[in-house]
Amino acid sequence: MDYLIKNVTSDDLKDLQSISQETFKKTFDPFTAPDDMERFLEEAYADEKLLAEINNPHSRFFFLMVEDEVAGYLKINDEDAQTESVKPNALEVERIYLRSKFQHRGLGLVLIKLAEKIAREEKRDYMWLGVYEKNINAQKFYKRDGFEKVSQHVYPVGDDPQIDYILAKNLH
């Protein structure tokens, strides 16, 4: 499948917001109360919050474009933009979001390999990410790519304290 990787800028705010809300809701709606979901989508992907993330020099967003459509995106964090300290000299993969119609086409692998390429170019020792305990498909995907569970944390969605497993991949 032909695709293009594009750096996300503040000019892409509305597209980023749209795909973020769409994909998060689609993935986690079955596990989340409607009020919690609505509040999370409003807060997590508010204009000001996304703009601050886009403009943070330690966070990077990349759109995966397929036939001029945003199929998905990758968000990576380093230094103080990481959501927590998991491993030394690590790169956090905070989000790999793919629209439903683009799933199961190898595009998630394109995004995780982009993150790994960047991590290796920047001489990182590890990559890490959080994955919802009930998202079995994602867990299997990351395990096949060499990630292992190292811990877990609470990821609040509204008033729902969901559990994310913390997975890390040694890059040596």
State residue 97 phi and psi, 5-degree precision: -115, 130
139-156 pLDDT, tens digit each: 999 999 999 999 999 999
pTM: 0.95
48-87 pLDDT, tens digit each: 999 999 999 999 999 999 999 999 999 999 999 999 999 9
Q: Are 5 and 62 in contact (CB under 8 A)?
A: yes
State residue 132 phi and psi, 5-degree precision: -60, 135
DSSP 145: T
DSSP 73: E
Q: How far is CA 43 from the centre of its chain?
A: 17
CA quadruple 151, 108, 116, 6: dihedral, nearest 10 = -130
Structural domains in the chain, sorted by start: 4-170 (3.40.630.30)
